[in-house]
Structure 1
Amino acid sequence: MEMLVFGHGYSAGWLTPLLRAEGWRVTGTTRDHPDRVRAAGATPLIWPGEEDRVRQAIARADAILVSVAPDASGDPVLAAFAEDIGRAAPRWLGYLSTTGIYGDRQGGWVDEDSPLDPSTRRGQARVAAEAAWQALAEARDLPLHIFRLAGIYGPGRGPFRKLREGSARRIVKPGQVFSRIHVEDIAQALLASIDAPKPGAIYNLCDNEPAPPQDVIALAARMLGVPAPPVEDFDQAEMTPMARSFYADSKRVSNRRMLRDLGVTLRHPDLQSGLAAILAAEIAAEIADRDR
């Protein structure tokens, strides 16, 4: 069995070992990090660049995962390979989207049936990309699965380094709340779908505990035994436009369908367990580095 991943980055790096353990061969596209793809256990393809080899991989693939964000021109995978994917007809096709497509709900709950009302250009581009993939799937009878990911965290993407360096910030916007998902749980949810496809399905991937961003920093500081950064008011805080845009939406995302239909038991159902696992992994890595 062969899996092709468009955009073999952080999340795919956790999925690939699970696939290989089940006997899959994995190929992943990358712009300029082939060593990272190899380190995860996949065969790298440079794209843009090796289009002919990518087309050959599409033709061989039993499953295809798309983890490439749309750009100003639309979805780059569709632009380059829509006809190839339509002809190949894999038995599973996955598209990684974002919960940003629901927009701002002022802290209210959303599920997969909630209206799509993005408040940012990134969210609007994702809505258009989802619709384009759904149109291709309908036209070519492809087994499309859409996964709307909440904020991704995990080893290398936690708050501990910034706390140690003194660069972490505790910015408070009243009423602000986010949902998150540990990368290990993204990988196991994708594997569950690959093992039991349900064409047309849409899943929110998130944990059980939406939380304000400042609570993440405060909890991580307690785990490290260091003082939490001072509170900064969102309206007064100096931030880049990109950083400020992440506070545009406030919502709680339901994971009920993921838990029920995919049969997933979250390994990190809340921030406490997720951050504890990250800290333990970082400490283990530091010890291993010292022992070399």
Structure 2
Amino acid sequence: MTRRLFIFGLGFSGLEIAKLARADGWTVAGTCTTEEKARRLREAGIEAHRFDGTAALSADAFGEPSHVVCTIAPGSEGDPALRTCRELLGQARWLGYLSTTGVYGDHEGGWVDETTTPLPTQPRSQQRLAAEQGWRALAAGAGASLHILRLPGIYGPGRSTLERVRAGTAQRIDKPGQVFSRIHVEDLAASAMKAAARETGTEIWNVADDLPASNADVIAYACELLGRPVPPVVPWEEAAPTMSAMARSFYSESRRVRNDKLKRELGVVLRYPTYREGLKAIAAAEG
């Protein structure tokens, strides 16, 4: 059976999924926003096509994939892949959509799972939920399987708390009861490929690690790994006025994300079950 994966958005997450799929013998292609990046990816052996969401891909570029993953964030005009490539997307037998655990909204530090009713409060999360509904409609009309992966904060090599600590910009903010869930990009990719192997119906997976934690705790551990002094805690009331609107929005919600279904039904074994294993591995790889 043909296994061709097309990835809308060969960015941080998309490239990790592509890497894992290619290692497992899949034919992989995908999109990026500029021709320059597409050229660099092609030179690295990855079939890449420019796509900025304003026009549909050609049928030749799409190439009749069996599986499709979309990592692109929607905007005020909706999901760009759905908006411009709906007819092409309906040809695949499995669709994967990378969404966000932000669709659950604020639970004041309480636990959420896949049965929790989405109540997004942030515009970007509301757009994600609308995109989920669009992918559901597409899959239903095409008779394709759809797997929605709801993701918390994604980190990995080159994109973690370690970079902020090294740069001296890490700020330990104390907002009582505030916690965040996370996932290492390698565990995200492994979960996506596990889902791709399960071509049945519509499923939602929370892809998160085992230990929700405050950013203050994560920064302290990153400092320990790097042998740097731990910055003092800054009260939320003092920090908030100096933060960007985007940063403040992240602190406006608090929830703990359950991953029981992911491990029980997909059989995912997290390589980095907490931020400690993940940051330790990144620090060791970077020397």
TM range (shorter): over 0.9
Q: Is the 8 A contact 2:107 2:255 kept in 1?
A: yes
Residue 178 of structure 1 is matched in structure 2 by: 180
Cα shift at 1:124 = 0.7
Query: Once the two structures are superposed, what CA deviation does each residue of 1:241-276 show, in whole Å capped at 9, x if it has no partner?
Result: 111111111000000111011111100001110110
Question: For 2:129, what is the secondary structure of its paired residue?
Answer: helix
Cα shift at 1:195 = 2.1
Cα shift at 1:41 = 4.3
Report the Cα distance in structure 1 between the residues aligned to 2:261 and 2:282, rounded to whole angstroms: 26
Residue 70 of structure 2 is matched in structure 1 by: 66
Residue 42 of structure 1 is matched in structure 2 by: 46
Q: Is the 8 A contact 1:170 1:231 kept in 2?
A: yes
Cα shift at 1:229 = 1.3
Residue 113 of structure 2 is matched in structure 1 by: 111
Report the Cα distance in structure 2 between the residues aligned to 1:99 and 1:80, rounded to whole angstroms: 25
Q: 2:222 aligns with which of 201, 220, 244?
A: 220
Residue 121 of structure 1 is matched in structure 2 by: 123
Report the Cα distance in structure 1 between the residues aligned to 2:183 and 2:44, rounded to whole angstroms: 20
Go from structure 1 to structure 2 and tell me whether the alpha carbon gap of 1:36 and 1:232 turns closer, same or farther (over 3 Å shift). Answer: farther
Report the Cα distance in structure 2 between the residues aligned to 1:197 and 1:213, rounded to whole angstroms: 37
Q: Is the 8 A contact 2:51 2:57 kept in 1?
A: no
Equivalence map 1:270-285=2 (5 Å): 270-283=274-287
Residue 132 of structure 2 is matched in structure 1 by: 130
Report the Cα distance in structure 2 between the residues aligned to 1:134 and 1:4, rounded to whole angstroms: 18
- CA-based RMSD: 1.7
Report the Cα distance in structure 2 between the residues aligned to 1:259 and 1:36, rounded to whole angstroms: 36
Go from structure 1 to structure 2 and tell me whether the alpha carbon gap of 1:181 and 1:39 turns closer, same or farther (over 3 Å shift). Answer: farther
Q: 2:245 aligns with which of 241, 244, 248?
A: 241
Question: For 1:220, what is the secondary structure of its paired residue?
Answer: helix
Q: 1:157 aligns with which of 156, 159, 181?
A: 159
Go from structure 1 to structure 2 and tell me whether the alpha carbon gap of 1:106 and 1:135 turns closer, same or farther (over 3 Å shift). Answer: same
Cα shift at 1:35 = 5.0
Residue 194 of structure 1 is matched in structure 2 by: 196
Question: For 2:183, what is the secondary structure of its paired residue?
Answer: strand
The answer on 1:146 being equivalent to 2:143 is no
Task: Mark the runs of 5 or more structure 1 residues left unpaired by the alignment.
Answer: 284-292
Go from structure 1 to structure 2 and tell me whether the alpha carbon gap of 1:104 and 1:205 turns closer, same or farther (over 3 Å shift). Answer: same
The answer on 1:232 being equivalent to 2:234 is yes
Task: Mark the runs of 5 or more structure 2 residues left unpaired by the alignment.
Answer: none
